[in-house]
Structure 1
Amino acid sequence: MTLSDVSLHTVSGASTVPAAPHPLGSLTMAEFTAIRDIVINADDFTDTTRFAYVGLAEPHKRDVLAWQAGTGPLPDRKARVMLLDMATGRSTDNIVSLGAGVIESTHVLDGSAGQLPILDTEFEAIAGIVNADPRWVAALAERGTTIDEVVVVPLSAGYYDLPEEIGRRIVRVLAFRQDYPTDHPWAHPVDGLCAYVDTAAGTITRLIDAATVAIPAEGGNFNDPAVQGEPLTTLKPIVISQPEGPSFAVDGEWVTWANWKFQVGFDTREGLVLRQLSFTDAGEERPIIYRASINEMLVPYGDPSPVRFWQNYFDTGEYLFGRYTNSLALGCDCVGEIKYFDAVLADELGNPFTIPNGICMHEEDVGTLWKHSDLFTGAHEVRRQRRLVISFFTTVGNYDYGFYWYLSLDGTIECEAKLTGVLFTSAYPGIAAPGSTHDAGADYPYASEVAPGLGAPYHQHLFSARLDMTVDGLANAVDEIEAVRLPMGPGNEHGNAFTMKSTRLTGEASSGRVADASVARSWHIVNTEKTNRMGRPTGYALLPEANPTLMADPQSSIAQRAEFATKHLFVTQYDPAEQYAAGDFVHQNPGGDGITTYIADDASIDGEDIVLWHTFGPTHFPRVEDWPVMPVDYAKFTLKPYGFFARNPTLNVPASEPVSHCSHGGEPESHAAHASTAPAPAAGACACAGHAAHDA
């Protein structure tokens, strides 16, 4: 839906709607409409005011839990609404009460602590602004191109304390040549040129014309059959079939599957949100996570050239990547027995719209769950592992990101980011920074050459997962676990001994921790009031990948703005106002918000209601094989039960039924023929590998 498709004032008079049956339920179409009506009838609303963000203002956790326990009232439905006046730049952060039908509070931003997210309306105006400036036109002509041959890419500005940018909404603009309407412009960066634009004033505040370099000529149209080459014709179909249907049950946004129960939600800023994940164990519904989401995503680039040093994107806080969610298609994005959830959002006029099939849910077979062939008893037992997958994909400019949450039969929770799309490109060898001693004829040290004369700057993708934990309840703590080598000596005469060290994290200020694969460092979230049958705390282990944290210098602007990315883990005491690792207003924020503020009071995190902030993601030195479209790269973390259960919780998973199409290769063979050349399985056990795992 575009802004021209709808009228600004579609309904006169405020309206209210009945509260949703659950206080954490996603805002409905009717509620978005009611919010719009309340807001546009306010005295300070103007024809140039736009909705930058509309989302559920979640009640305090204790109020939700009290209502669920029957000891408290149903919390009021409220929404958070951010408004930008395009003519004046006036920005407000508002809380709207749906029950009362009023704006409950308004905070006016002065710009000193960040700006509202960038609107699509602002992006759409950029080409007209730069193309009207003679300096921009002349700079393109110097490079042998024109405004008619170039597309512009407006990007978030970061914060560099430039006098003319104080209190103004700024984006930075790079150009790419597009040789014909279906040409992919990422192959032709117009390098050495950058415009800084005031979106409200509609002017270029500063033009950086650092160097005139050749525009790479070779195309990058990965969907062109001539580029793709001869089709691969030897792949046979893989059929995913569940003849009796999926094993999950869905009631609105609530899902039950195997022993799992949870709510599926969606937010314009964060995208997919999972709430109140619990596991039924021996008839008891045991909570694990109250709320899980990707609350921020930082993409810092490592090229210090005059036109690229500022490239550091917060795709969640600056761009609201949930609004760019893809509508997923069966057979293309998702395969198998699929349940889709639509994503309902508000556009920049406050009108509700739907992204059909924004969230995909399905089951996957993922190999062996457990198996043993016993030497002494002759028992042969094997069980198949499966997992429930809840996912969405969003396209932010050149990159496409998929976020997949996996729930397994054994209580394991995983979150995996899948990165694909098109590299952000530059000319190669690149533009040297002022004062650089770099030899222009040598390999450029800050980018890879992925095609003739085409560079791809080194960069990182740093995702922040906000994990509001409730492991067996609210009294949680975090123990840092690591392997310890012991010296040879008394008690370890042969030098083979090693042990485990556990260190309790007690305060927010010292909770910033870095993963260390050399000692298998992990973090155990334990309940300080409940124990398992061994008398030890029940818990879950957070297992990190141990990739690098933020590579930028600690004194850099980006490090000040993204302290969360300087560590793999921070732990804070629950506060409903602390939702985002980089703070509420990330665009042009000078730093010191988010995690920096949250840990400043050094509140206790020992036996408290705690939130984990986990940073994960790859450091990307692009390959030639990543061009012209990047095969999926992966980053993930795992939450695994550690002392949470009394024993293996999957002993009761039934053996799989043999299927007729299992074989060891070649033509399909029957199980009778198969049995003639292989040991007989135990009664009821599966004798084959089963279905291939599938991926949405």
Structure 2
Amino acid sequence: MTMTAPVSTATHPLSRLSAEEFTAIRGIVADAGLVGERTKFVYVGLAEPHKDVVLAWQPGDPIERRARVLLLDRATGTGADLTVSLSTGQVESSTPIDALVDGQVPILDAEFEAIEPILAADERWVTAMTKRGLDVANVRSVPLSAGSYFPDEFGSRVVRVLGFHQADAADLPWAHPVDGVVAFVDVTRGVAIDVQDHVDLPVPAERAELTPDVVRDLKPIEITQPEGRSFTVTDDVVRWAGWEVRVGFDAREGLTLNQLSIDGRSVIHRASISEMVVPYADPSPVRFWQNYFDTGEYLFARYTNSLELGCDCLGEIHYFDGVLADEDGNPRTIRNAICLHEEDYGVGWKHTDMFNGMVETRRSRRLVISFFTTIGNYDYGFYWYLYTDGTIALESKATGIVFTSAYRGEEHPFATEIAPGLGAPFHQHLFSARLDMAVDGVANTVHEVDAVRLPVSPTNPYGNAFTRKLTPLTTEKTAARTTDATVGRTWHIVNPSVTNRLGQPVGYALHPENGPTLLADESSSVHKRATFSTKSLWVTAYDPAERYPAGDFVNQHPGDGGLPAFVADDAPVENADVVLWHTFGLTHFPRPEDWPVMPTDYAGFTLKPVGFFDKNPALGVPTSSSSHCATETGHCS
């Protein structure tokens, strides 16, 4: 047996896996005899070292390099969870995945691609299409994650399939849902285990044309930076306006931010979108099971777009290519996967004073780090923003094409009619941001901060007083919280051992957007599987094994994985190394204006410094000097 020689191109413990490393990982796994004729590599990612190791590392120190690898034997449907050492060239561990207990590894593209031929050969599916006057060759079979519902499916790799008619190559099939029919397919055996034809509904006929009724007369906008960029990039480390961050990329989480600091002071050790779930509200027998975990079930960063200047990003752009493993374990490069640029963000601060004649204005700008991914019908952009005043923000942009159904009328109040006979079921997009905090160090405490109305009293005789209430979140179970817009609830992450010049503990405040959490009933399967989305905030003690809020293996998992298990020991989280998990997102009641392509909808959150600085850090922003400034000096000041 030929052994693959140890190889690593890493210059830092958190360096992204390179193409050479992906090739070496595949070789190590093959050399260990773990790659058979039908073995597929489902996931290959960096097994990040413990935070303590990363923080203690200095340039020149040795780097232990490991990867996590998920394999699937397509012949048997069994999965394995491997730890591979690039430093020694060995498979350090290989753990079989118990599908009944652990769930299944994510769904492969190869499994999706096999669905249409399977159903085209199934008499029940063909009969259902023929009954509706459709040629099965013109029906696109859309395979979707099955969830966890029926005991006879437990332990098998199953997807559920809905059909969409496509009249010709240019036709958008989403306009023509073949509603009333659903197929259950065992992707390991390659057979449909059931085809259910519940109701014969008319197939919407109107095509989805993107030809506008009115062409808007808009002149071009040009973004120029005549002196070039203000940021630098060295070995994936970005430096800009006092900020420093290492950019990461993972097949499951997509873009990650590592060791985020400002002015040499740490704020976040690692930030990512660690899960998302899209639960649908239609209770019909055809659709009640629709709830997709795009991160854990599909590994949504596999579908990252190659971004284009002038379309996806404007200005002076730096691109990062993304390197992932394909399903055979070989490196696959996504060109321009991540976009980095800076942009103007309006007035940062301004004052015109009546006493000393001061007239000062400074414009704000932000650094933008983003990527876009397409999962089936929806397109998602994730934009991290760093601002000159020390603010950090995440914005999710949802666009693409809404998932459609036949519109059943007002007696079925779970969808909107968006075109003649075409429905769009109500649904949510709920994301979990994993924020491994390190506010001026790793010993942090989270306070829940509420505005408090005060009654009329001897100390408040005119009733105008109000104050705030700070409640420390001391244990993991008590730190599972929900937003409350009526009291302006925020959460402050402070470092009690570090104070500013006023003696206040330094901190950052998490400002949520106050959207609904999961709306499904507590008894539902999706509630059990997506418990993370039932709370706006969770706080856990740092554990490098706790990466995903719905658990490691989400596909067909029975539930109670992830955060419910993480907080079971109710560990203390006061003055501790803490991780915040923040649920945010959209509750979407589609509109006719969302068809045929959805205008971008936005969701996100903001982290603002609270006592982290001694004064406004944006004082250091220079005055603008431009021919467009309407002043005698040409300076906007």
What corresponds to 1:396 in structure 2? Answer: 375
* 1:13-39 residue CA offsets vs partner (Å, 9 max, x unmatched): 423213511010000010000001011
* 1:39-82 residue CA offsets vs partner (Å, 9 max, x unmatched): 11222321100000000000000011111399xx5341000000
> Which of 231, 254, 258 does residue 241 from structure 2 map onto?
258
Residues 213-612 of structure 1 correspond to what in structure 2 (within 5 A)?
A: 213-222=201-210, 227-232=211-216, 234-280=217-263, 285-429=264-408, 442-612=410-580
Bigger mean CA offset, 648-657 vs 254-263: 648-657
Query: Aligned letter for 1:133?
Result: D
* 1:399-426 residue CA offsets vs partner (Å, 9 max, x unmatched): 0000000000111000000000000000
> Which of 602, 605, 615 does residue 637 from structure 1 map onto?
605
Offset of residue 164 of structure 1: 2.2
What corresponds to 1:109 in structure 2? Answer: 97
Offset of residue 511 of structure 1: 1.1
Take 1:379 and 1:442, find their aligned partners in 2: how far apart are those partners?
A: 61
Take 1:74 and 1:641, find their aligned partners in 2: how far apart are those partners?
A: 35
> Which of 23, 46, 49 does residue 39 from structure 2 map onto?
49
TM-score by length of 2: 0.98
Take 1:340 and 1:69, find their aligned partners in 2: how far apart are those partners?
A: 25
Confirm or deny: 8 A CA contact 1:382 1:685 kept in the other structure. no
Aligned residues: 636
What corresponds to 2:128 in structure 1? Answer: 139
Offset of residue 684 of structure 1: 7.0
Take 1:499 and 1:600, find their aligned partners in 2: how far apart are those partners?
A: 34
Take 1:367 and 1:389, find their aligned partners in 2: how far apart are those partners?
A: 15
Instruction: Label 1:148 to 1:18 Cα distance change in 2 as closer, same or farther (>3 A).
Output: closer
**SS state at 1:445 partner:** coil
Query: Aligned letter for 1:548?
Result: P
* 1:511-555 residue CA offsets vs partner (Å, 9 max, x unmatched): 111111110000000002111111111000000000000000011
Confirm or deny: 8 A CA contact 1:59 1:75 kept in the other structure. no
**Structure 2 residue 592 is matched with structure 1 residue 624:** yes
* 1:307-330 residue CA offsets vs partner (Å, 9 max, x unmatched): 100000000000000110000011
Offset of residue 650 of structure 1: 1.7
Confirm or deny: 8 A CA contact 1:478 1:606 kept in the other structure. yes
> Which of 77, 86, 105 does residue 89 from structure 1 map onto?
77
Offset of residue 189 of structure 1: 0.1
**Structure 2 residue 164 is matched with structure 1 residue 176:** yes
Offset of residue 584 of structure 1: 0.4
**Structure 2 residue 581 is matched with structure 1 residue 613:** yes
Confirm or deny: 8 A CA contact 1:187 1:217 kept in the other structure. yes
**Structure 2 residue 177 is matched with structure 1 residue 189:** yes
**SS state at 2:58 partner:** helix
Take 1:528 and 1:203, find their aligned partners in 2: how far apart are those partners?
A: 60
Offset of residue 185 of structure 1: 0.2
**SS state at 1:461 partner:** strand
* 1:469-493 residue CA offsets vs partner (Å, 9 max, x unmatched): 0000010010000100111121111
Residues 194-205 of structure 1 correspond to what in structure 2 (within 5 A)?
A: 194-205=182-193
TM-score by length of 1: 0.90
Q: How much identity, in percent, do the aligned residues show?
A: 60
RMSD in angstroms over aligned alpha carbons? Answer: 1.4
What corresponds to 1:32 in structure 2? Answer: 22
**SS state at 1:512 partner:** coil
Take 2:34 and 2:608, find their aligned partners in 1: how far apart are those partners?
A: 51
Take 2:361 and 2:410, find their aligned partners in 1: how far apart are those partners?
A: 57
Confirm or deny: 8 A CA contact 2:9 2:20 kept in the other structure. no
Confirm or deny: 8 A CA contact 1:298 1:463 kept in the other structure. yes
Take 1:501 and 1:74, find their aligned partners in 2: how far apart are those partners?
A: 48
* 1:235-268 residue CA offsets vs partner (Å, 9 max, x unmatched): 1111100011110011020110010001011000
Confirm or deny: 8 A CA contact 2:120 2:137 kept in the other structure. no
Query: Aligned letter for 1:87?
Result: A
Residues 160-175 of structure 1 correspond to what in structure 2 (within 5 A)?
A: 160=149, 162-175=150-163
**SS state at 2:99 partner:** coil
**SS state at 1:542 partner:** strand
* 1:206-241 residue CA offsets vs partner (Å, 9 max, x unmatched): 22211011000001132xxxx323532x21111100
* 1:634-685 residue CA offsets vs partner (Å, 9 max, x unmatched): 001000000100111121221111324x5xxxxxxxx4xxx5xxxx6xx674
> Which consecutive segments of 4 or more residues in structure 1 shift more than 4 A?
none
**Structure 2 residue 112 is matched with structure 1 residue 123:** yes
Take 1:684 and 1:411, find their aligned partners in 2: how far apart are those partners?
A: 28
**Structure 2 residue 636 is matched with structure 1 residue 686:** yes
What corresponds to 1:3 in structure 2? Answer: none
Instruction: Label 1:684 to 1:573 Cα distance change in 2 as closer, same or farther (>3 A).
Output: farther
Instruction: Label 1:13 to 1:68 Cα distance change in 2 as closer, same or farther (>3 A).
Output: closer
Offset of residue 334 of structure 1: 1.0
Take 2:2 and 2:226, find their aligned partners in 1: how far apart are those partners?
A: 51
Confirm or deny: 8 A CA contact 1:655 1:684 kept in the other structure. no
Confirm or deny: 8 A CA contact 1:164 1:205 kept in the other structure. no
Take 1:321 and 1:341, find their aligned partners in 2: how far apart are those partners?
A: 18
**SS state at 2:618 partner:** coil
Take 1:546 and 1:75, find their aligned partners in 2: how far apart are those partners?
A: 42
Take 1:229 and 1:562, find their aligned partners in 2: how far apart are those partners?
A: 41
Take 2:240 and 2:622, find their aligned partners in 1: how far apart are those partners?
A: 15
Stretches of structure 2 lacking an aligned partner (at least 5 in a row): none
Query: Aligned letter for 2:161?
Result: V
Confirm or deny: 8 A CA contact 1:208 1:306 kept in the other structure. no
Confirm or deny: 8 A CA contact 2:627 2:634 kept in the other structure. no
Query: Aligned letter for 1:271?
Result: G
* 1:577-634 residue CA offsets vs partner (Å, 9 max, x unmatched): 0000101000000001100110000001000000000000010000000000000000
**Structure 2 residue 141 is matched with structure 1 residue 158:** no
Confirm or deny: 8 A CA contact 1:265 1:272 kept in the other structure. yes
* 1:145-199 residue CA offsets vs partner (Å, 9 max, x unmatched): 1211100100000001x13212100000000000111100000000000001100
**SS state at 1:547 partner:** coil
Take 2:155 and 2:119, find their aligned partners in 1: how far apart are those partners?
A: 21
